Structure 1
Amino acid sequence: MNILKHEMKSNLKSLLIWSISMALLVISGMGKYTAYAAGGDSSDIFDKMPHTMKALFGFASFDVKTLSGFYAFLFTYIAITLAIHAVLLGNSIVAKEERDKTTEFLMAKPVSRRAILTAKLLSAAINLVLLNAVTLVSSLLIAASFDGGSELTSVIIWLLVSMLILQVLFLSFGTLLASRKIKTKATGSIASGIVIATYFLAKITDLTDRLNFLNILSPFKYFSYPEIIKGNGLNIFIVVLTLLLSVFLIWGAYKLYTKRDLAV
């Protein structure tokens, strides 16, 4: 319990910064909807873009002149931001002890490594839920300021639920990567680099259906945002597979962390 409290306290400043940033991203992003919905030059720019450009910018499957379509377009950027936060958080809960030279102090506690990692993961999971909740509330509040915003409520909820599942996956991956016997200073950059690479892979597969087989390599393609907008919710099969993959990654992190030679 003491480790959990310490982790929550040490991550509080970071959580506040990320929460404010996410709220500002949602508010500023949705604030542009009025200009696009009104038509004119701003709207014409999107209409005249070729499919390739639309795919790269993330709105090939959405009508950005509708409230739900514009939010889905904005959500692609919300998703990459939350994913980077999750993978860096997963990396940090392991790597920061060596970075801050507190490993010896932590290992001197009368608790097992497994218990230490469990407390760290629980703290990280709470952080994910809180940041996701801030994003959800910010999205619902800004949507309510538009006419017809109530119709967007279920779409926002399902999109953020799908993102929370992916956040858990990226958190698990970040923890696993940091638990390996490699330089901790490099793991954060490697983890965020992989997340960005999978994001761009998702954009590339939007260019043509012939590359759809690559979607398995990008978590950003695990859930279909167009289907969520249509009101079809989440594919339960994909949800279960994603959670099982997260469990497998966490299991691997425990295996590596308990055997790892920690620098002091």
Structure 2
Amino acid sequence: MNVFLRELKANRKALIIWSVSIFLLVLSGMGKYTAYSSGATGAIFSEMPYSLKALLGIGSFDVTTMSGFYAFLFPYIEITAAIHAVLLGSSIIAKEERDKTTEFLMVKPVSRTSIITSKFLAALVNVMVVNVVTLISSILMAAAYNKGEDISGEVAAFLFSMFIVQLIFLSLGAVFSASLKNAKTSGSLAAGILFGCYVISKITDLTDRVNFLNVLSPFKYFNDQNIVNGNGLNVGIVILSISLVCILAMLTYFFYGKRDLSI
């Protein structure tokens, strides 16, 4: 419990900054809906070639509707939350070596398994707070600008899919932090993989010929068009994604248990 509370306290300032940042992202993004929903803007988008709309993140969404506009805005929110998660995951071990607090941690009468569990739980709380802030701000801002049907259900589905993506990158960052000899490099490597996954998601948006690459990008595990259409999330993909998170978490325990800690 002491390690858990210590982690929450250590990440408190960063959590506030990330939460405020993502709130401002939602606020500024949703504030543009009025311009996108105008008839003239809709006509401009309809004239655009699909490749350009794919690069902009519009794709086949009707951004003149609130559900379509939120689907267009969502990837920018998602990658922001994913960056927070992957950096958080990579720092839960690395920061002990960076701050030279490993010796202090190891003299506590707790096992390495207990330490990792406490750190994971604290990181999970941080991820959940960011997700809840995003959910509440998204629903409130959508209600403020929406002139059509309520989209709270679609927003909740989007944010649940984002939560799973956050967990994947959180556990991925933790694996790198536990397995790399120099844990301090785990953040940059994990962030590099995250951006690689995002690039893959953009490439597959441009052409269906390389859709097989979607398996390499958590950003493409869930079909945003299905959510907009009210079909929710694919249960099979949810189960597989959670299984991936569990595997990555178990690998973190395994590597950390065998790690020669730098004191």
Amino acid at match of 1:138: S
* Consecutive unaligned residues in structure 2, runs of 5 or more: none
SS at 1:234 equivalent = coil
Q: Which residue of 2 aligns with 1:51?
A: 50
- Separation in 1 of the partners of 2:92 and 2:250? 16
Amino acid at match of 2:224: Y
Please tell me whether the aligned partners of residues 3 and 119 of structure 1 are also in contact (alpha carbons under 8 angstroms): yes
**What percentage of aligned pairs have identical amino acids?**
55
Which runs of structure 2 are paired with 1:181-200 in the superposition (5 Å)?
181-200=180-199
Q: Which residue of 2 aligns with 1:13?
A: 13
- Separation in 2 of the partners of 1:51 and 1:92? 40
Q: Which residue of 2 aligns with 1:104?
A: 103
* Consecutive unaligned residues in structure 1, runs of 5 or more: none
Q: Which residue of 1 aligns with 2:32?
A: 32
Q: Which residue of 2 aligns with 1:169?
A: 168
Matched, 1:256 2:247: no
Please tell me whether the aligned partners of residues 202 and 220 of structure 1 are also in contact (alpha carbons under 8 angstroms): yes
TM-score (norm 1): 0.97
SS at 2:206 equivalent = coil
Q: Which residue of 1 aligns with 2:69?
A: 70
SS at 2:150 equivalent = helix
TM-score (norm 2): 0.97
- Separation in 2 of the partners of 1:151 and 1:222? 25
Shift in Å, 1:147: 3.7
Shift in Å, 1:151: 1.7
Shift in Å, 1:152: 1.1
- Separation in 2 of the partners of 1:63 and 1:153? 17
SS at 1:111 equivalent = coil
Amino acid at match of 2:122: S
Shift in Å, 1:44: 4.7
SS at 1:94 equivalent = helix
Q: Which residue of 2 aligns with 1:2?
A: 2
- Separation in 2 of the partners of 1:150 and 1:96? 47
- Separation in 2 of the partners of 1:197 and 1:16? 27
Amino acid at match of 2:151: L
Per the alignment, do residues 167 and 147 of structure 1 end up closer, same or farther by CA in structure 2, a change over 3 Å counting? closer
Q: Which residue of 2 aligns with 1:142?
A: 141
SS at 2:261 equivalent = coil
Please tell me whether the aligned partners of residues 176 and 190 of structure 2 are also in contact (alpha carbons under 8 angstroms): yes
SS at 1:151 equivalent = coil
Amino acid at match of 1:236: V
Q: Which residue of 2 aligns with 1:124?
A: 123
Instruction: Note the alpha carbon deviations across 1:13-45, whole angstroms, 9 max, x for none.
Output: 0000000000000010010010111233x4454
Q: Which residue of 1 aligns with 2:94?
A: 95
Please tell me whether the aligned partners of residues 89 and 171 of structure 2 are also in contact (alpha carbons under 8 angstroms): yes
Aligned length: 263
Q: Which residue of 2 aligns with 1:154?
A: 153
Shift in Å, 1:46: 2.9
State which drifts further: 155-164 or 58-67.
58-67
Matched, 1:205 2:204: yes
Please tell me whether the aligned partners of residues 181 and 261 of structure 1 are also in contact (alpha carbons under 8 angstroms): no
- Separation in 1 of the partners of 2:147 and 2:243? 37
